[in-house]
Structure 1
Amino acid sequence: MNISRFERRILDMLAKGGRIEPEKDDKGKIIDVDFISREGWFLDGTDLQTFKRLRAKKLIASFNGSAYRISKHGIASLQIARNA
């Protein structure tokens, strides 16, 4: 699977304990996202399109209604990208 350098940076951050906090409107639709590291720092340059790409590739997932984190498929893809 092709993962861009920026997507790889996000997955690295998520693998180290980061999370993605979505902001939803009244209907429950995601309108904005914040990429937050384990230390509480925000990752600049991220947007809703990047979030949608990661979710479409099934690299991130939300478990039990919590914040989005890296999925098992995302961890495997990240390891492949690191070794390539």
Structure 2
Amino acid sequence: MNISKNEQRVLHALAQGGLIKVIKDDKNHVLEADCITRDGWFLTACTLDVFKKLRKRRLIRSQGGAPYRITRDGLLAVRAELCQR
């Protein structure tokens, strides 16, 4: 599966315990998606297009109105990276 660099960054942040919070309008359409790392930082690589691609491929999902988290398929699709702390 071909995954772009920004999609890899988002999946890696989610695999480490991050989440994606979305803002929706009255018609329940997603207006904005914010990726928040486990440390509380916002990830700028998470655009609305990246969010839609990850959701379409079922690499992330939300249960019961909770923030979006990585799925098992997402964990298998992410490549290992060194932690740059």
TM-score grouping bracket, smaller chain normalisation: 0.7 to 0.9
Unaligned runs of 5+ in 2: 81-85
Q: 1:4 — aligned with what?
A: 4
Matches within 5 A, 1:47-58: 47-58=47-58
1:44 is displaced (CA, Å) by: 1.2
Q: 2:15 — aligned with what?
A: 15
SS in structure 2 of the partner of residue 66 of structure 1 = coil
Q: 1: CA distance between counterparts of 2:45 and 2:60?
A: 18
For these two proteins, the number of residue pairs brought into alignment is 80
Give the TM-score, by structure 2 length. Answer: 0.86
Q: Which amino acid is 1:70 matched to?
A: I
Q: 2: CA distance between counterparts of 1:60 and 1:67?
A: 10
1:64 is displaced (CA, Å) by: 2.1
Q: 1: CA distance between counterparts of 2:35 and 2:77?
A: 19
Give the RMSD, CA atoms, in angstroms: 1.1
1:46 is displaced (CA, Å) by: 2.6
Q: 2: CA distance between counterparts of 1:6 and 1:27?
A: 28
Cα contact 2:37–2:43 (8 A) shared by 1: yes
Matched-pair identity in %: 45
State yes or no: 1:71 paired with 2:65. Answer: no
Give the TM-score, by structure 1 length. Answer: 0.87
Q: Which amino acid is 1:17 matched to?
A: G
Q: 1: CA distance between counterparts of 2:72 and 2:20?
A: 16
Q: Which amino acid is 1:34 matched to?
A: D
